[in-house]
């Protein structure tokens, strides 16, 4: 089993972001009380056995603006359920993560940390609505190493209006500098999400496939291997097991405001309004997925990542089309699995196969 926990508070709202994030305003006590009830209920409801949770991902929002003591209580609840060597990740922002916080979180059981840098360039950071500087990124990475984190991710965003070859070379130059301090990189192609500031104005996205290819090619040249459209690891040990579980269609629990859980053909949604969630944290809206939805999702997720498509899960027509694409070198067939050779083409291929 896998577990996602949402912390919905941020210091400010970035212009591209549609994740549930609200200004903090002293809601910690009531939110974490609700979260604990939610977690207890879900562990019971899913009949979670001792030592069976393989990954925990605390995402946001900005988990690093919440004092570590609140997470101590969460880890206390989780401790008996965590598998040996479970991967326990938390997202954090460069401007709000202190060395002390990192050390405390490490003590509670966190063993992977994911920093949202988005860019190293001052103008691009401003353009994205970020409130940290390049120096803060370097500092926080040094601190995470000092706190003895052995698995550290950095998030970047590219294909924004500001990204040209010079800008991407600047990002790569800085990536090279911090490479010894990280084990994993997530480089996200900007998506324009409804109801964000970017959705309201003129196009903020570059939409330049040659620059996307340029960036990815050079990230690989730095020594990262790509295992999903946006994800790169220094080696196989550092593949994010939590994300891999999503792409493999594994079951997961989602706790916290607007979190999502998944089991077989059902998605579970928590309440999206903070006060309503605090009043009723165990409520779930259930969406039943039909076989067509599940199949399409299987194709998209498999083709975007190293998971691939198992021939046993494909009907005959889809399998024939997939073999045709191996002749065109778009897919590789190995031990009964079709693998995509260029993740940037995954959506097109999924639509062709479906
Ligand atoms: C849950 S979000 C943010 C976590 C953390 N608060 C932060 O700001 O770094 C996780 C990552 O998703 C990426 N992201 C969020 N919105 C995006 C968008 N519209 N397009 C591309 N990437 C996005 C960012 O790289 C971000 O670090
Ligand atoms: S990107 Fe991170 S810090 Fe910015 S609004 Fe979204 S969750 Fe908050």
Per-residue pLDDT of 135-159, as tens digits, reads: 999 999 999 999 999 999 999 999 9
**Looking at the predicted structure, is the pLDDT value of residue 203 above 90?**
no
Q: Is the CB of 19 under 6 A from ligand 2?
A: yes
- Of 218, 247, 276, the residue at which a domain comes to its end is 247
Looking at the structure, tell me whether residues 298 and 205 fall in a common domain: no
Tell me the mean pLDDT in the region 186-212: 91
Å from CA of 130 to ligand 2 middle: 8
* Same-domain status, 129 and 32: yes
Instruction: Provide the mean pLDDT of the chain.
Output: 96
Residue 201 — left, alpha, or beta (φ > 0 → left; ψ -120 to 50 → alpha)?
beta
pLDDT at 350: 96
Q: Is residue 115 part of a domain?
A: yes
Atom of ligand 1 at shortest range from CA of 186: 25
Mean pLDDT value across residues 126-134 = 97
- pLDDT of 25 higher than 90: no
Residue 261 lies in a domain: no
* Rounded CA separation 252/246 (Å): 8
Q: Residue 201: which domain range?
A: 2-247
Distance (Å, rounded) from C-alpha 240 to C-alpha 230? 12
Domain boundary among 191, 217, 247: 247
pLDDT band at 109 (very low <50, low <70, confident <90, very high): very high
Place of tokens 């995509």: 340
Nearest CA to 71 among 28, 24, 22, 21? 28
Would 346 be classed as within a structural domain? yes
In a domain, 60, yes or no: yes
Ligand 1 contact via 60 beta carbon (within 6 Å): yes
Judge contact between 354 and 321, C-beta under 8 A.
no
- DSSP secondary structure, 47-83, as one string: TPPTT-EEEEEEEES-GGGS-HHHHHHHHHHHGGGEE
pLDDT tens, residue by residue, 286-340 = 999 999 999 999 999 999 999 999 999 999 999 999 999 999 999 999 999 999 9
Q: Where are the alpha helices (DSSP H) in 79-164?
A: 99-108, 122-128, 134-146
Contact in structure between 138 and 176 (CB atoms under 8 Å): no
Cβ of 94 below 6 Å from ligand 2: no
Q: How confident is the model at residue 21 (pLDDT cuts 50, 70, 90)?
A: confident
Strands 2-7 and 252-255: parallel
Centre of ligand 1 to C-alpha 238, Å, is: 20
Expressed in angstroms and rounded, the spacing between residue 320 Cα and the centre of ligand 2 is 43
Look at residue 278 and tell me if it is in a domain: no
pLDDT above 90 for 202: no
Q: Are residues 219 and 304 in the same domain?
A: no
**Listing from the earlier edge strand, what are the strands of the sheet with 285-288?**
225-228, 231-233, 184-189, 152-158, 112-118, 82-92, 53-60, 2-7, 252-255, 260-263, 266-269, 285-288
At 253-266, the pLDDT tens digits run 999 999 999 999 99
Number of domains in the chain: 2
Atom of ligand 1 nearest to the CA of 10: 6
Q: Is any ligand 1 atom within 6 A of the Cβ of residue 116?
A: yes
Asked whether residue 241 falls in the same domain as residue 297, the answer is no
């Amino acid at each position: 089993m896998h577990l996602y926990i949402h912390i919905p508070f941020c210091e400010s709202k970035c212009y591209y972001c549609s994740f549930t994030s609200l200004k903090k305003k002293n809601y910690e006590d009531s939110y974490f009380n609700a979260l604990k009830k939610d977690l207890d209920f879900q562990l019971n409801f899913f009949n979670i056995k001792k030592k069976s949770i393989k990954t925990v991902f605390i995402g946001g929002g900005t988990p690093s603006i919440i004092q570590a003591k609140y997470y101590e209580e969460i880890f206390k609840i989780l401790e008996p359920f965590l598998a040996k060597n479970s991967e326990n990740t938390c997202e954090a922002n460069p401007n709000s993560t202190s060395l002390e916080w990192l050390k405390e979180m490490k003590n509670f059981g966190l063993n992977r940390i994911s920093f949202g840098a988005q860019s190293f360039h001052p103008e691009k950071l401003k353009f994205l609505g970020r409130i940290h500087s390049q120096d803060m990124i370097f500092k926080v990475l040094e601190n995470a190493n000092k706190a003895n984190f052995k698995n550290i991710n950095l998030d970047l965003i590219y294909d924004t209006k500001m990204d040209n070859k010079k800008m991407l070379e600047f990002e790569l130059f800085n990536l090279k500098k911090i490479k010894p301090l990280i084990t994993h990189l997530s480089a996200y192609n900007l998506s324009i999400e409804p109801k964000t500031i970017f959705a309201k104005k003129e196009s903020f996205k570059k939409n330049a496939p040659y620059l996307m290819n340029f960036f990815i090619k050079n990230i690989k040249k730095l020594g990262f291997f790509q295992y999903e459209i946006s994800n790169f690891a220094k080696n196989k040990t550092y593949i994010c097991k939590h994300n891999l579980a999503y792409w493999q269609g594994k079951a997961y629990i989602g706790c916290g405001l607007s979190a999502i859980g998944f089991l077989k053909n059902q998605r579970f949604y928590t309440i999206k309004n903070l006060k309503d969630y605090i009043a009723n944290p165990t409520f779930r809206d259930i969406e039943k997925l039909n076989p067509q939805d599940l199949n399409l999702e299987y194709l998209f997720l498999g083709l975007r990542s190293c998971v691939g498509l198992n021939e046993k899960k494909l009907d005959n027509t889809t399998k024939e089309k997939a073999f045709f694409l191996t002749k065109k070198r778009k897919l590789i067939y190995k031990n009964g699995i079709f693998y995509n050779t260029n993740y940037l083409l995954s959506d097109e291929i999924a639509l062709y196969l479906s």
